[in-house]
Chains A and B, each alone.
Chain A
Amino acid sequence: MANDDKILEQVTNNEYKYGFYTDIETDKAPKGLNEDIIRMISQKKNEPEWMLEFRLDSYRKWLKMEEPEWAHIYHKPIEYQDIHYYAAPKKKKNPKGLDEVDPELLDTFNKLGISLEEQKRLTGVAVDAVMDSVSVKTTFQDTLQKHGIIFCSFSEAVQNHPELVRKHLGSVVPNNDNYFAALNSAVFTDGSFVYIPKGVRCPVELSTYFRINAANTGQFERTLIVGDEQSYVSYLEGCTAPMRDENQLHAAIVEIVALKDAEVKYSTVQNWYPGNENGEGGIYNFVTKRGLAKGHNSKISWTQVETGSAITWKYPSCVLLGDNSVGEFYSVAVTNNRQQADTGTKMIHIGKNTKSTIISKGISAGYSENSYRGLVKMTKNAHNSRNFSQCDSLLLGDKCGAHTWPYIKAQNTSSVVEHEATTSKISDDQLFYCNQRGIDTENAIGLIVNGYAKEVLNKLPMEFAVEAQKLLSISLEGSVG
């Protein structure tokens, strides 16, 4: 038994391999937040007046709000005045081709395994890379343009498609939705914008890679995806950050609008720096993600693999407004060492015959805390709606916590809500069985954990599934893979 514990300890102690720092000049705003800083950000981005107004309005609302305390997480107070709210790699004006992108930057993304150039040529995944809040480069523009698909940085969208942005910005996550959403609405610097026109099936996976690089910087990106009628898009998001001793704040917003018969699939592999084994450093990840299934028969699907961040506070949600609309949430959350995750979803059923599915797999190791928190609400008019939720927890070791906090509100008679949850550990019998076949305990844990999470991993697009699987093993196993 003692031996097993040792192995468990070994495999749960790993190094973060994305922890390098890129030495590029950055253009930073002074620390702190006030209306002048917001005006500065807006000005730097050459924004129209309505955008500035949106920011200022958000900021004023934020000032009156309090940081939420209900999550099962503990952290030192965040010093909001000690953060740079704008940091951008210094660059030449809008690179036209890859030759014009800072080579250091390209190198960064190569290290991350997202060679923009390679991606462009080979994999058919269009990538938008965001470093320290600023979109660096979007690949694959030509193909997308042919289909009328808009996939660009948020800043470009504000310049080039103001009517679309204005129409949908804040329509799913209002700027006073919550403390962190209000903060983001005031200071967000960049992110991605996607518009899929009516009847178009986006032929490639769209992907954004987020990277925090500069020190003492908050990253506040904002993503807006609009799927027009009968459209389809699959969108991927990946995140990493360098290793630093201090905690860095990441407060993003993702808004999705799906119109009639549209389907939007959003996948995340979140691997922000989780801090070291003593819980020093790491990203505070407070994210608001919400999709509005606005039209009849629309569908929004969230898949997330969360292995990083010191703190994860994140509830990708679906508002099922259109009749027969569908919401899905598939999640694997791994916490190790001193990480804390409080993550889950909200499924708000408003339209008739709406359906939602929640599959959540939590894996806790070390001294970490891992919570599932979710709300399923059947409103009065959501006749004949269905929800099924399954939230499983796997504990590796006896120093960690695994918690399930589901909230179910039912307000009509014809809907059915089902919730199931179990808690388990890897059994000695399973480990011995693997050992007997020649597989050592470290590998056996990797195998079993991946098997446990398979239901969710299978929902990821191929390119990400492989990466996610490796990530799971790495998060728990050191250098296997």
Chain B
Amino acid sequence: METNTLDISLKDRMISLFEDKKDQIFKNDIKPVSALRNEAFEAFTKMGFPHTKMEKWRSTSLEETLAKDYNFRIEGAPRQTNVEKIFECEIPDFDTYMVAQLNGWYVYRKAPLRTLPNGTIVGSLAQAMQEYPELISKHYGKYADYNENGLTALNTAFAQDGIFIYVPDGVEVEKPLQMVNIIDSDENLFIQSRNLVIMGKNSKLTLLQCDDSVHHRYTFLNALTEVYVDENSTLDHYKLQNKDDSSTLINNVYLHQEANSNVTTNAITLNGGLIRNDTHVTLNGRNCTANVYGLYLVDREQHVDNHVFIDHATPDSYSNEQFKGILDDSSSAVFNGHILVRKDSQHTNAYQNNKNILLTDKATVDTQPFLEIYADDVKCSHGATVGQLDQQAMFYIRSRGISKENARMLLMYAFTAEVVNKISIENLRERIDDMVKKRLRGELSICDQCVLHCNHPEKELKFNIDMTKI
């Protein structure tokens, strides 16, 4: 197998870093976590970084980003800071409980780990390891298989901190929980961030994951989130990605669902240098519902790759994937949806759809909607389209006196609406709706702060077309 020399060098740097900093890396561990680290490190040593000869990476090359000169900051700790100083959310009336990570470490105002009045525990993963070892032992590393993915192995070997959320049985968390991942550094950084979300039976949670970067340095964020959703629970999960062009974001999310649970996850990518979202959903009980949605609007040289793997491990469940993208300039996008219906997973309903619009001849899309089916009494379908704006619709709109520009905008906006409308939090939906409009008009830039907060004075959006008349 051919490997490029740069890959070897970063891989080797990682390996020697692990050996050199062992004391530091293992310092905070409880036993099972240490054991996992060693095994995952072995696995990474064998696998290395993913490369384009691997089936799942044939359309996304990490070669260039891995060739950058990154620094690693293993030392550190959750620390107290005034979170509002670096981050402010400006969605009007958007009341969330906010937790933040800065360069991979948990930052807080009062305490590294807090218990809310309803019993929900939120805070630093490093701290949770000390305070709730039994919860960590039960769930940590149980859903993210490091043998399958070099980056998951790498994260499992190195990760120090991240966000920990525990929702007890029967608790419905009213306020959305907002997880903000900020990178603010004046050096090139390679960061491993690790989150663990545990939802008890009959619980309910809305989770908003915002990825943002501040300085225009080369950054590589290898983030991994494990989510356990116990019986009869409901999770609403949003990922908002508005990163600068020099950043690489790997977002591995492992969702494990038990019977009668209901998960909706929606990845909205507005900007990003190189983004890879790997969403793994395991439906491990009957009557589960998994809705996996995504929207990507990319331009310049940006590259976004959504991989979704849905494992129907049990009968009677439902999954639905809807991804839509608009690509401008020399941007590129990948969609790979893989539905696995295991033997005896009868009465599965699984649907998958990916639609793309290319605005230039330089933009490229690779779409791979896969079905792997071993049960006969199932309803599965998939569809994928790549095309341009509907010329007939364009003509129709223009024949009503609407300018070509506005007609184009209108159609693009209508194209995105299918995904945006699935956002169930009204304030958030309106805000994202605005951002999508701005993005389509080329007015949305990388804000200095979170994606939900633009420092630019809010310009009135001039969108004069009455949608209802079309």
Which positions in A face B, CB cutoff 8 Å?
A: 70, 72, 378, 380, 393, 395-425
Contact = CB atoms under 8 A, between A and B. Distances in A.
Given A398-B346, A398-B376, A411-B361, A416 B386 contact: yes
Contacts of A411: 361, 363-364
Interface stretch (B109-117, B365-373, B418-426): B365-373
A415 B383 contact: no
A276 B55 CA distance: 33
A402 B379 CA distance: 12
A421 B366 contact: no
A340 to B, nearest CB: 13
A399 B379 contact: no
B125 to A, nearest CB: 37
B366 A409 contact: yes
B231 to A, nearest CB: 26
Contact of B367 (A396, A405, A408, A421): A408
Given A403-B370, A404-B371, A406-B368, A423 B377 contact: no
Closest 4 CB pairs of A and B: A395-B376, A410-B386, A416-B387, A423-B380
A406 B384 contact: yes
Interface of B: 55, 343-344, 346, 356, 358-361, 363-388
B306 to A, nearest CB: 14
B358 A413 contact: yes
Given A408-B366, A419-B382, 8 more contacts: A398-B346, A398-B375, A412-B361, A413-B361, A413-B363, A415-B387, A421-B381, A423-B373
Contacts of A424: 379
**Interface on chain B toward A: helix, strand, loop, or mixed SS?**
strand
A423 B383 CA distance: 12
Contacts of A405: 368, 370
13 contacts: A393-B371, A398-B344, A398-B374, A401-B374, A402-B373, A404-B369, A406-B368, A408-B367, A408-B368, A411-B364, A419-B382, A420-B382, A421-B371
A425 B364 contact: no
A399 B361 contact: no
B358 A410 contact: yes
Contacts of A419: 369, 382-385
Nearest to B59: A409
Contacts of B344: 398
Contacts of B378: 423, 425
Contacts of A417: 384-387
A334 B402 CA distance: 53
A333 to B, nearest CB: 15
Contacts of B55: 70
B374 A408 contact: no
B370 A399 contact: no
Contacts of B374: 398, 400-401
A398 B343 contact: yes
B411 to A, nearest CB: 14
Contacts of B359: 413
Contacts of B358: 410, 412-413
A378 B373 CA distance: 28
B43 to A, nearest CB: 20
B361 A403 contact: no
A30 to B, nearest CB: 34
A416 B391 CA distance: 12
A412 B360 CA distance: 7
B366 A395 contact: no
Nearest to B340: A403
Contact of B388 (A398, A400, A413): A413
Contacts of B360: 413
A404 B382 contact: yes
Nearest to B334: A409
Contact of B373 (A393, A412, A414): A393
B365 A421 contact: no
B376 A425 contact: yes
Contact of A403 (B363, B367, B371): B371
Contact of B381 (A378, A414, A423): A423
Contacts of A403: 370-373
Nearest to A412: B361
B376 A396 contact: yes
A423 B359 CA distance: 33
B381 A422 contact: yes
Nearest to A381: B361
Contacts of A422: 380-381
Nearest to B377: A425
Most A Cβ at <10 Å: residue of B356, B359, B373:
B373
A358 to B, nearest CB: 13
Nearest to B352: A421
Contacts of B381: 420-423
Contacts of B385: 416-419
Nearest to A402: B373
B365 A410 contact: yes
B404 to A, nearest CB: 16
A372 to B, nearest CB: 9
Contacts of B369: 404, 406, 419, 421
Contact of A407 (B368, B371, B388): B368
Contacts of A406: 368-370, 384
Contacts of A399: 343
B376 A397 contact: yes
Contacts of A378: 386
